[in-house]
Amino acid sequence: MKTNTILTGDRPTGKLHIGHYLGSLKNRVKLQNEGKYKMFVMIADMQAFTDNARNPEKVRNSLIQVALDYLSVGIDPSKTNILVQSQIPALNELTMYYLDLVSVSRLERNPTVKSEIQQKSFGQSIPAGFLTYPVSQTADITAFKADTVPVGDDQEPMMEQAREIVRTFNNTYNVDTLVEPQGVFPPKGQGRLPGIDGNAKMSKSLGNCIYLSDPADVVTKKVMSMYTDPDHIHVEDPGKIEGNTVFTYLDAFGTDTEKIAELKAQYQAGGLGDVKVKRYLNDVLQEILEPIRNRRAEYEKDIPGVYDILKKGSDNANIVANQTLTEVRKAIGVNYFD
């Protein structure tokens, strides 16, 4: 029976938030515990450097925070290889080979890259590494022969470009060395969580996040400040559910659907204040976050031990990536001394 291989991960540019938990982390733990997959979870520090090269401390400090977030949500190093991208030298060589199979114009047309270039306001000063990171991402995926890649719903253009590179490589060298990956996307409505300010996206750069590591009192403060219906001024006023961030979060995180339906009906009819709904949401989130905070506190007592976990995962990953690199060199014909 074939075992599927999963590669997924995050750029270390700050602590992870509940949007990450909803969109990817929760599902990673589920997939890990199903026992059907060989799992690689990568902290993509080299991708983080594409727009943080002049601030290496940010990436270095964030790396351990992301590792703690992984461990605290239940990613288990005995079941999953947690690795650091920069510690896998084969990825760099694979990227160089793939770059020669992709045109600059094709990279510039990638919708995900175009969108992120606009968001980051690079103008004409786009770092070359940023423009080519779809190729680097393809190296990451193919190094581990991952056929299953859990990603956000905005990453389909990246997956399509990865498949193009795989097909081009295999066709050019008349081999079947590389595996075409398929994206696995979050359930509809769970791909992107709005920020607590009502902004369409929860984002570290916008400062509208609830972090997995936030203390209980900070979570409460953030929930109580959340955007609701601006026209719902008095308790007796009918309120809107659509675009109301509190109810969006309840739909995403709440398990008592009957209770949530009652709150919605009462809110829409009038007679239910924002504070009461926010208090209920706070209870829901605290129940989810408390065990995560507790596990994190345990791992924080032994940071060298966390680095050991990353080293062991990276060592295991190197064995797999080096084998793929050997096959790629043979396909191209640059295994001169074998």
For residue 295, the model assigns a pLDDT of 98
Model confidence at 197: pLDDT above 80 = yes
User: pTM for this structure?
Assistant: 0.93
Model confidence at 112: pLDDT above 70 = yes
Question: Sign of the C-alpha dihedral, residues 204, 209, 210, 215?
Answer: positive
Model confidence at 155: pLDDT above 70 = yes
Give the separation between CA 168 and CA 63, rounded to whole angstroms. 33
For residue 98, the model assigns a pLDDT of 98
Q: How confident is the model at residue 188 (pLDDT cuts 50, 70, 90)?
A: low
For residue 121, the model assigns a pLDDT of 83
The residue count for the chain: 338
The CATH classification number of 4-192+303-332 equals: 3.40.50.620
For residue 46, the model assigns a pLDDT of 96
Question: Averaged over 22-45, what is the pLDDT?
Answer: 94
Q: Name beta bridge partners: 150.
A: 184
For residue 189, the model assigns a pLDDT of 57
For residue 191, the model assigns a pLDDT of 60
Q: How confident is the model at residue 1 (pLDDT cuts 50, 70, 90)?
A: low
Q: For 102, left (φ over 0), alpha (ψ -120 to 50), or beta?
A: beta
For residue 154, the model assigns a pLDDT of 78
Give the separation between CA 39 and CA 5, rounded to whole angstroms. 6
Superfamily the domain 214-297 falls into: Tyrosyl-Transfer RNA Synthetase (1.10.240.10)
Q: Quick one: which of 132, 69, 78, 72 has its CA closest to 102?
A: 132
The 10s digit of each residue's pLDDT in 75-104 is 999 999 999 999 999 999 999 999 999 999
For residue 184, the model assigns a pLDDT of 86
Is the Cβ–Cβ distance between 210 and 222 less than 8 Å?
yes
Model confidence at 251: pLDDT above 90 = yes
The 10s digit of each residue's pLDDT in 116-150 is 888 888 878 888 998 999 999 999 999 999 999 98
Model confidence at 113: pLDDT above 90 = no
* Extents of the domains making up the chain: 4-192+303-332, 214-297
- On average, the pLDDT of the chain sits at 94
For residue 23, the model assigns a pLDDT of 86
Give the separation between CA 192 and CA 205, rounded to whole angstroms. 15
For residue 122, the model assigns a pLDDT of 84
